[in-house]
Every structure is written in C-alpha cells, then in structure tokens.
Chain A
Amino acid sequence: MLRLDSVSRHFGDQHVLDGISLTVPDGQLLSVVGPSGCGKSTLLRTIAGLLPGEEGTVTLDGTPVTGVPDRLAVVFQEYGRSLLPWLTVRDNVALPLRRQGLGRAARRAGAEAILERVGLHGVARRRPGELSGGMQQRVALARALVCRPALMLMDEPFGSLDAGTREDLEDLLLEVHRSDGTTIVFVTHDIDESVYVGDRVVVLSPGPGSRVVRDLPVGLPAERDQITTRSLPDFVALRTEVGRAVRGT
C-alpha cells in the first residue's frame, strides 16, 4: 500500500504541492489529472524518492520512503532523454534486469520479449536516437515493464503517440496491470484516458499550492474495451465530472 500524508513541496519560494494525502491500495491503477504545471511530475518524483528533503511523509507498505523504493519502475515524461543514447534499444530495455542479477543472455531474451509485447519489432539493435518519438516512448514503457515492478509510476507515458497506438498501449497496460497486479500511478492530461485506464481518478488543482480537488472511484466494469467502455453512460458521466473538476467549475 502506498500512502501519502500531507505531502507538500516547495522549489525555493515556489509552492508546488500543498498537503497531498492519498492512500493507494495494492494493485490499484490510480489516474492523476491536473492542469499543466500544477505539480504532477513533482508528485511522482516525490513518491519515487528522487527529490531530496521532504515535507509530509510517503510510506510504502508501512515503511517511510526515504530513498528509491525497491521494485519501482518509472516512465518519465521526457522519455527521450531518459533513454541512454549510447546503448542499443535492447540494452536500454535490459538495464533494469541487471539489478536482478540476470546473465547477459537472460537479460537480452527478457528485453526482446517485452519489446515484442509493446509492438516494437526489429529495432532491438538500433539506438534510441534513430527512433521516432512514439517508438522511443514504447521503449521507455518496455523498460519499465521488463522487471515486473511492484509499483509503477507513469508520467504521461502515451503523450506523443498516434490514436491507434495509444489505444493499443492503454489496453496493454490494463492487461499487464491485471496479470501482474502492479500498483500504478498514472499521470495524464487526457481526461478520457484517465477514466478509461483508471480504477480511480484524482484531480489536482492548478498551482501554486496544488491540492487534491476531486477523488473519484471509477465504477466501470474491470473488462474494458475501447469502443464499448467509452460509450457507456457511466463513462461519459465520469469524464464530464473529471473535465469539470480540471477546469475548476
């Protein structure tokens, strides 16, 4: 269980997060939406234990997060910069497996399998700089999934994908979430997406001093489908409510 207790954050004089309290049960997929610049990425970095010093506490399974927790995976918003340009796509994806003490062959096999799964074929030996933005984003996703994390933090992971690929990867995410029981905090600026993938949607207020303004359970059937789920009256009602909350009306 992931728990945030009145987490606040400042950058110098700038007040970014103001007393965020949340409890995310194991296996939940929590969508976080909020206006640009409100502090969504900052929230994820705080949970990841990447920001030094803290106000409030983050606990994971009862232990306070002081450094980077074990079995964590992060997909950063700036996915392109988070791929190491000197490594091949395969070695980038295999990197987290090093921490699990796997041999070279096992790492490569694991990386290639997950690359197939995110729909990247025949690019394993290329370098990230040779790929399109959307492909890089899928590489970053594959790298996060490869080590079967217990907690996955995703910062607008599908932001630069075309609609078709985006829907495929949303469904892949749901599938992984269901089969591995990963706890996921999923930041997005796409309101429909937040409802479609989420078990719950949290809306942050505009900064400075962003707070949780809405916390909505998503009561849609667990089995989701791009066409049918999105046309359910419950879906439409939820997306309207989230949209209003984001706009502050």
Chain B
Amino acid sequence: MTRRQDMSLGLLGAAAAFGVCEALSRAGIVRRGYLPPASEVLARAARLAGDPAFVDGIGVTLRAWALGLGLACAIAVPLGLLLGAVPVVEAAVRAVIEFLRPLPSVALIPLVSLLLGSGTRTEVTLIAYASLWPVLFNTVYGLAETDPLAKDTLRAFGFGRLAVLLRVELPATAPFIAAGVRISAAVALVLAVATEILSGFGQGLGVFIAQAQTDPDGTRDVLAGVVWAGGLGLVINGVLVGAERRLFAWARQPAPAVRTSRRSRS
C-alpha cells in the first residue's frame, strides 16, 4: 500500500470515528454528560489554544517530556554501547535489567512521588526511567546487527577496537537508536501526562485533565485535554519519522522498527 493510500484510509477512519461519536451523543443514545458531541470537544480543544494558562501548562509538560527523554538517551546510548561492546558487562547486568524491565513504570509513580515529592523532579525521573528501555534495547540490538564485514574492513585497515565502535558500530546502530527514541518519545508523553494526572496540582496538560475531571460538566474539558495529548503525540511522531527518513536515507529500510527489519545489502 502506498503512503498516500495509507494516509487517506487513516483520514477516513478518523472521520468515521468522529461521526459515530457525534451521532451517539446528538441522538441521545449516550448521555451528553458522558460523551459530549465530538464537534463540541474539538471546538473546546481549539479554544484552549488561545488560553495562556493552558498553553503554559503544555509548555511545562513538554519541558518535562524533553528533559526526561534527553536524560534517558544520555544514559541509554552509552550504556547500550557498553553492554553491546563488552560481553562481560552485559552478562553481569542482564539479571538486573530483566528484573527492572517488566515493571510497569506507571506503577512506580506513587513510590517516586513519595521519595522525590510531586514536582518536576519526580516527573522527569519517571519519564527518564520509562523511556530508557526502548533506547537501551534498540542500541544493544542494533550493535549486534552490525555487519561483521564492515567491522572486519576497518580492522583490516588497522583501526582498533574503539575506532571500530565509533566509526562503524555507532553509525550502523544509529537508525535503530533513532527508532528507539521515537518509541520512547511516545512512552515519555504517556508518563508525563500520567504523572501530572496522579499528582493533580501544579501546571501541565495532565493537571488540566485531572482538574477538569472534578468539574460538574468536565467531560468535555477532559476529552479536549485528551485530544491535545493525542495531537502532541502525533506531531512528535511525525517530526521524528521525518527526521529518520532524512538522516538515514542510506539505510535500505528507513526507520527500522524494533526487531523486525534486518538490513540486507548485497
């Protein structure tokens, strides 16, 4: 299927979902209090863009998102290179990783809030923790996928272990790392909003949603907030996919996903 067909089908699906929600609400099948018409939700979401307090909140959420994601990458990429390049370290750390990985990060929100209070520090810590894994695993996986012949080529020209790591393995792994960052970006957004919802005060998109929840007629605002969260996720994903396409045009398959694409060159 071409990208254009993909996109028009996507639009069609979105329009259909919109129509169903609108009809359910307008026909009174579902009480308006539960499900306001989709058009009202969208109109509210659009109006929020003109609300300085709300826009500030989005800024706060995005700052925490960027900080947490940045921190995760700063830790995960070097750690992944170390794990991938030095098998001894990998063997020693594997048990710890296998224990930590399945823990749902959202379940850690109360614990971390208890330890760090319910401010930005908690939010950034949780985001960083949750977004660490996709980047880390993609880095390790990408390293293992590096073509041994490319490594041998540099070795044959007299380059040492470190030079091979930096000049072959790191660039060859870059598309995998980027795909990991893209996945982490979505995870980070989930954690940012979830942490804010659970903490319930201060500023941020999640805080807006949490507070709207307590209003008598708040469903519309809650949904408008959700629309914003979804929109942010879409934009972030779109920007990252675009960047991957541009930067890694040399890789046969742009934007390799986790454990699905194996580059084969002949």
- CB neighbours of A45 from chain B (8 A): 152
**Which candidate, B2-10, B24-32, B53-61, B156-164, is the interface stretch facing chain A?**
B156-164
CB-CB under 8 A from A50, the residues of chain B are: 152, 155-156
Q: Are A70 and B158 in contact (CB under 8 A)?
A: yes
- Within 8 Å CB of A129, what residues of B? 250, 252, 265
Cα-based distance from A70 to B157 in the complex (angstroms): 8
Taking a contact as CB atoms closer than 8 A, the residue among B149, B250, B251, B252 that contacts A82 in the complex is: B149
B147–A74 contact, CB under 8 A?
no
Q: How far is the CB of A91 from chain B (nearest CB, A)?
A: 10
Residues in chain B near residue A81, CB distance under 8 A: 147, 149-150, 265-266
* Closest residue on chain A to residue B171 by CB atoms: A86
- Contacting residues of chain A (59-91) with chain B, CB-CB under 8 angstroms: 68, 70, 72-74, 76, 78, 80-82, 84-86
Q: Is A127 interfacial (CB 8 A cutoff)?
A: yes
| Residue from A73, A74, A85, A96 in contact with B265 in the complex, judged by beta carbons closer than 8 Å | A85
Pair A73/B156 contact, Cβ less than 8 Å: yes
Query: A residues within 8 A CB of B211?
Result: none
Q: Which residues of B contact A127 (CB under 8 A)?
A: 250
Contact A84 B156 (CB under 8 A): no
Quick check: is A48 within 8 A (CB to CB) of the other chain? yes
Q: Which residue of B lies closest to A149 (CB)?
A: B157
Q: Which residues of A lie under 8 Å from residue B159 when comparing CB positions?
A: 99
Interface of B is mostly: helix
Interface residue total, chain B, C-beta cutoff 8 A: 22
Residues of A within 8 A of B174 (CB): 86
Out of A82, A99, A147, name the residue touching B153 (CB < 8 Å): A82
A95 within 8 A of B: yes
Range class of the A interface residue count: 20 to 34
Specify which chain B residues have a CB less than 8 angstroms from the CB of A72 in the assembled complex.
Answer: 156-158
Q: Which residue in B150, B157, B168, B266 is a CB contact (below 8 Å) of A96?
A: B157
CB-CB nearest in chain A for B264: A81
A84 to B164, alpha carbons, bound, how many Å? 12
How many Å lie between the Cα of A70 and that of B158 in the bound state? 7
Instruction: Decide: B153 and A68 in contact? CB cutoff 8 A.
Output: no
- Cα of A70 to Cα of B150 in the assembled complex, Å: 19
Q: How far is A99 from B157 in the complex, measured between Cα atoms in Å? A: 8
B154 within 8 A of A: yes
Chain A residues within an 8 Å CB radius of B152: 45, 50, 74, 76, 82
Beyond A129-B250, A129-B252, A129-B265, whether A84 also contacts B150 by CB under 8 A is yes
Within the complex, the shortest CB–CB distance from B50 to chain A, in Å, comes to 45
A94-105 toward B: CB 8 Å interface, digit per residue (1/0)? 011001000000
The B-contacting residues of A in range 28-51, CB under 8 angstroms, are 45, 48, 50
With CB as the reference atom, state the residue of chain A lying closest to B249.
A127
Residues of B within 8 A of A80 (CB): 265-266
Let me know if B266 and A95 touch, CB within 8 A. Answer: no
Report how far A86 CA is from B168 CA in the complex, Å: 10
How far in angstroms is the closest Cβ of chain B from A77?
9
**CB within 8 Å for A78 and B158 given contacts A86-B250, A127-B250, A129-B250:** no
- Check if A68 sits within 8 Å of B265, measured CB to CB: no
Q: Which residues of A contact B251 (CB under 8 A)?
A: 85-86
List 5 A-B pairs, minimum CB-CB distance, nearest first: A74-B156, A82-B153, A85-B250, A96-B157, A81-B149
19 CB-based A-B contacts, threshold 8 Å: A50-B156, A68-B155, A70-B158, A73-B157, A74-B152, A76-B152, A78-B149, A78-B266, A81-B147, A81-B150, A81-B265, A81-B266, A82-B150, A85-B265, A86-B172, A86-B174, A86-B250, A96-B157, A129-B265
